[in-house]
A and B are shown apart, each in its own frame.
Chain A
Amino acid sequence: MTMDKKNGLRHTIGVLVENQPGVLSRVAGLFSGRGFNIESLTVAVTNEPGLSRITLVTSGDQHILEQIIKQLNKLINVIKVIDFRDTEFVEREMALIKVRAEQATRAEVLRIVDIFRAKVVDVSPHFFTIEVTGDDGKINAILELLGQIGIVEVARTGKAALARAKKR
C-alpha cells in the first residue's frame, strides 16, 4: 500500500471472476460508473477452468476501498475478491522498454540491464528492447536510468499479485 498524493492510498485488489463475455466490462463499468479510480488492471485465465483473475490497482481512502470491495463482491460473476490490505502478498509487473542504443551507449544500457536482472529480448542496429520484471519501485528506477539514455516506447503490463502462502 503506497500513498498517492492526490487520491490517498494506492491499493492492490485481486478479483477471481467467471470467465464469461462482458465480465471485464462489468468490472470496468463499476469503476467508471461510481467514480472509482483504476491505475492498472491485468486479466488472464487461471489454473482453474472457467476462472480468470483480475488484478487491479486503485486508489482512495479506506472508506472508498471498502465500497470498492463490497461493490466488486456484489457482481454476480465475481467469485472472490482478495483484499490485500491485511495480508502479506507478492506483486510483480513486467515492462518492455525500447531504448536507443547507439555505439556510445550500448555498453551502458547493458550494464543497467545487468544490474536490474533484466533481459535484452530484441536487438537492432540502433535499439534494444528490454524486458524487466519487478515491483513498482524497480520498474520506475530502471525507467529513470534508461530515460537518460533515450527511451522510445514502453509497454507495462500492470501488476499481478498473489497472497503469500501461510508460514507455519
Chain B
Amino acid sequence: MKRTGAQIFFECLKRENVEVIFGFPGGAVIDLYHEMPKHDIRHILVRHEQGAAHMADGYARATGKVGVCLVTSGPGATNTVTGIATAYMDSVPMVVFTGQVPTALIGNDAFQEVDIVGITRPCTKHNYLVKDVRDLARVIREAFYLARTGRPGPVLVDLPKDVIQASTDFRYPKRVQLPGYRPTVEPHAGQINRAWDLLRKAKRPVIYAGGGVISSSAHRELTRLAEALQAPVTTTLMGLGGFPAVVRNDKGQRELHPLWLGMLGMHGTFRANMAVQNCDVLFAVGARFDDRVTGKISGFAPKAKIIHIDVDPTSISKNVVVDIPIVGDCKAALRKLNDIAKQEPLENVDDLRAPWLEQIHQWRETYPLAYKKEGNGIKPQYVVEKIFELADEETIITTEVGQNQMWAAQYYHFAKPRTLLTSGGLGTMGYGLPAAIGAQAAFPDRLVIDVAGDGSIQMNIQELITAVCNELPVKVAILNNRYLGMVRQWQELFYDKNFCATCLDASPDFVRLAEAYGAVGLRAKSMEEVEPVLREALSVQKPVLMDFWVSPEEGVYPMVPAGKNISEMLLV
C-alpha cells in the first residue's frame, strides 16, 4: 500500500517512540499538520520557533530521549537556529524537522525559502534535505540514530512540500547503514590499564567530570570510582548532577558529599580551583576543557598528569594536551576502571588520601562559597538557597544565562543527573523558560523551576502562554536586579564602571504580565517575603512568575578574570 510522505513521517515518529512534538505550523508543513490528528502524538504549539527548539532540548536533557520539533520553512526554520546551536554546543539529542518549498522551486528565492541545510551545517551533528519521498523513512531513521548515539547532538531534516505530498511504499529500515559513522564506545584496554596505574599511584587526584557523564548515564559509575579512590570530584556546569553534591544523612537531612568540590572554572569554588591547580593527577571524564573551565590554558592544572575519557576524539587534546587519552563512552570506561578497582582495591586508601582531603577541607573552610548577607534588597543567592531548601532531589532546575545561571550552579546542590538544564556552551539567554516547559511536558508531576534574570526571561517570555494553555505548571523565579547583571559586573570590574546599555530601568510589571498571560504573578521585595512567596508558588498547580527584587549590584564570586589562571580568583 502506498503512503504519503506525511503518513510515513508519523509512522516513523511512532517507531522512534516519539511522544511529543514541539512545533509551529506554516505553509510548507501544512500537509503534516493535516495528517497529525489521525495519529496518537502530542503536539505542543509554541509561540515562537526558538521556543520549540529549546523545549525539545529541555525535554531531551530531562529525559535522555531525543527531543523533536517541527517548524515551517524560511523564518520558521531560521528561528530554530539559536536553539539548534544551543543543543549542538551541549551535545543534546534532538531532531528538528523543517518544511521546505517544493523541490522544483528550491533555489528560486521562493516565498519563505531559505537554505536551512546550508545555514545549519556548522551547528548540527548532521543534516539532510530529503529530495525524494523514497528516502524519507531511511533519513528519519538515520536522523534519530545519529542524534542519540556517539556524542549526541541535533540533526535537522528539511522536508520539501512535494516530498511530504508524494506517495511511496513504506518500509522502515531495520538497520542504519552509515559507513562513515562508527563511534568508538568500548575504550582501549591498554589505555584503561595505563589510566588505572596513574590513578592508583596518585597522591592528590582530582576527578573533573563534564556533561558526558550525564549523556552516558555514568553517574553511578563515577560515584563508585570516586569513592573507591577517595578522589575529590569537581564538575563543569554541564556536569552538575553527574556526581551527588549532597547526600542524605541518617536523619534524612541533605549534606554535602565529603568528596564534592563544587563547580570549577571562572565562577568555580575556591576549593575546586585550588584542587585542580595542585593535583598530581587530573582525571577528565566527558568534559572538553572549555575556556570558562581552564582560564589561562597554559597555566591549567600545571602539576598534573592528565587522563581524558571522551566519546568524541576531537575533544581530546584539542585545548589541553593530555597524557592518557581514552576514546570511548564514559560509562563503559568507568565500568572497566571500577572492575579493576574491585579486583585490586587501594590499600589504606583513607590514610593515603587523608592529607589531600585535609588540605581541601582547609581551602573550603578558609574561602567557602559566600556572599554578604547585609545590604539593601533581597540577596539573589539567598533566593537560590531557599529554592534548594524547598525543593527535593527530583526537582528540575532550568536557568537563563548570566548571573542567575551562576548563582543557581553555585548555591543549588544537584544530587541527581538531568536535574539541571542550562545552556552551557552557547550561553543562550531565553533558554530557561522554554526548556522548563519541555521538561514539564516530559514529567508533569515533578517540580520544574526556571531560575531567571529580568533580562533573559524577556527573550522568550512569549512561551508563558504555551505553559498556561498546556497546563504545564512551571515556576519561574526572576532574580530581578534591573540590570543585565553579568555584563554589568564585567563593566564594573574591567571596563571602568562604564555601564553602557546594561541598565534595564524600564521593565514590565512581571506580576501583571503573568496575570495577563493567565499565569500567577507573585512579588517579593524583602528577605522576609522570599520564603512565603516561594511556598505559595510551589503550592499552586499553575505556571507562576515570581518577581524577586534583588540587590542590583550583587556580583557573582569567586570570579577568575578571563585569561587568568583559575587560582587567581576575585573573592567576596
Contacts and interface: CB of A to CB of B under 8 A. Distances in A.
Interface residues on B, range: 10 to 19
A54 to B, nearest CB: 13
Interface stretch (B81-89, B115-123, B430-438, B487-495): B115-123
A29 interface: yes
A85 interface: no
A29 B126 CA distance: 13
Q: How large is the interface on A (under 10, 10 to 19, 20 to 34, 35 or more residues)?
A: 20 to 34
B318 A67 contact: yes
A126 interface: no
B178 A63 contact: no
B179 interface: yes
Contacts of A133: none
Contacts of B179: 18, 79
Given A78-B180, A79-B179, A67 B122 contact: no
Contact of B129 (A21, A33, A71): A21
Contacts of A26: 121
B121 A75 contact: no
Contacts, number: 37
Given A21-B129, A29-B121, A29-B122, A79 B314 contact: no
Nearest to B122: A33
A70 B121 contact: no
Residue among B121, B125, B129 with the highest chain A CB neighbour number at 10 A: B121
Nearest to B316: A70
A79 B121 contact: no
Contact of A74 (B314, B317, B321): B314
B197 to A, nearest CB: 25
B180 A22 contact: no
B180 A63 contact: no
Contacts of A79: 179-180
A47 interface: no
Nearest to A72: B314
A76 B121 contact: no
Contacts of B317: 63, 66
A17 B125 CA distance: 16
Residue of A22, A66, A75, A76 with highest tally of chain B CB at under 10 A: A76
Interface in B97-126: 117-118, 121-122, 125-126
Given A21-B129, A67-B314, A75 B180 contact: yes
Interface string A1-30: 000000000000000011001100110010
A70 B180 contact: no
Interface in B288-336: 312-314, 317-318, 321
A71 B318 CA distance: 10
A18 B318 contact: no
A76 B314 contact: no
B321 A63 contact: yes
Contacts of A67: 314, 318
B99 to A, nearest CB: 19
Interface string B152-196: 000000000000000000000000001111000000000000000
Contacts of A29: 121-122
B146 interface: yes
Interface in A47-92: 63, 66-67, 70-71, 73-79
A76 B313 contact: no
Given A21-B129, A25-B118, A67-B318, A73 B313 contact: yes
Contacts of B314: 67, 70-71, 74
B178 A76 contact: yes
Contact of A25 (B121, B313, B321): B121
A31 to B, nearest CB: 11
Nearest to A66: B317
Contacts of A73: 313
Contacts of A21: 129
Interface in A103-128: none
A62 B178 CA distance: 29
Nearest to B127: A22
Contact of A76 (B117, B118, B180): B180
A70 B318 CA distance: 10
Contacts of A74: 312-314
A76 B126 contact: yes
Nearest to B121: A29
8 interchain residue pairs of minimum CB distance? A70-B314, A76-B126, A79-B180, A33-B122, A70-B313, A76-B181, A78-B180, A79-B179
13 contacts: A25-B118, A25-B121, A26-B121, A29-B121, A29-B122, A33-B122, A63-B321, A67-B314, A70-B314, A75-B180, A76-B126, A76-B146, A76-B181
Given A74-B314, A76-B181, A79-B179, 18 more contacts: A17-B180, A18-B180, A22-B117, A22-B118, A22-B121, A25-B118, A25-B121, A33-B122, A63-B321, A67-B314, A73-B313, A74-B312, A74-B313, A76-B126, A76-B146, A76-B178, A76-B180, A78-B180
